[in-house]
Amino acid sequence: MSNGRKVRWLNIIDEYSRECIASIPKRKWSHIQIIEILADLFITKGTPSYIRSDNGSEFTAIKLREWLSEVNVATAYIEPGSPWENGYCESFNSKMRDEFLNVEIFDTMFEVEILTRRWIHVYNTIRPHSSLGYRPPAPQTIAA
């Protein structure tokens, strides 16, 4: 942000469709917030077989791992320093950095949230993806 404060994005990518199903900016994330976001996504998108993530404290918290176990979702943590084990998300993060974060200056969290939603809409519905035959991951939402 223009005031030097950090913003952290929770990006959730569907590995099959390459759709970004969530990109939520916050100053700080806790395991409780992650559980709330995942619970909402499981209700609206369905419960996945597993979740692949890094080893950040918000993802390795005992309560989060217990909750995922209770809802029968396996965890696939990537090894520290091995971003290639999470290639789809790392590719998304690289594109987000190059096409969005490096070209914007944010003054408020409200602005961060609005511009993030706008960029994700373009990413999912308009932007061509070479791995998908140069089609967007969610073209059906263009008509909506």
Q: Is residue 43 part of a domain?
A: yes
- Chain Cα centroid distance, residue 11: 1
Tokens representing 23 are: 């990109």
Higher confidence at residue 57 or residue 121? 121
Choose the most confident range, by mean pLDDT, from 5-19, 41-55, 109-123, 124-138.
109-123
Write down the pLDDT at residue 128.
78
Work out the pLDDT band at 83, boundaries 50, 70, 90: low
Work out the pLDDT band at 106, boundaries 50, 70, 90: very high
Range of the domain at 69: 8-141
Write down the pLDDT at residue 143.
44
Q: Is residue 23 part of a domain?
A: yes
Question: Pairing relation of β-strands 20-26 and 50-53?
Answer: unpaired
Q: Is residue 2 part of a domain?
A: no
Higher confidence at residue 84 or residue 74? 74
Domain with 47 in it: what CATH number?
3.30.420.10
How many structural domains compose the chain?
1
Question: Above 70 in pLDDT, residue 63?
Answer: yes
Q: Is residue 1 part of a domain?
A: no
Name the residue with tokens 């995922």: 68
Question: Above 80 in pLDDT, residue 29?
Answer: yes
Instruction: Please give the model's pTM, rounded to 2 decimal places.
Output: 0.82
Q: Is residue 29 part of a domain?
A: yes
Q: Is residue 3 part of a domain?
A: no
Question: Pairing relation of β-strands 8-13 and 74-77?
Answer: unpaired
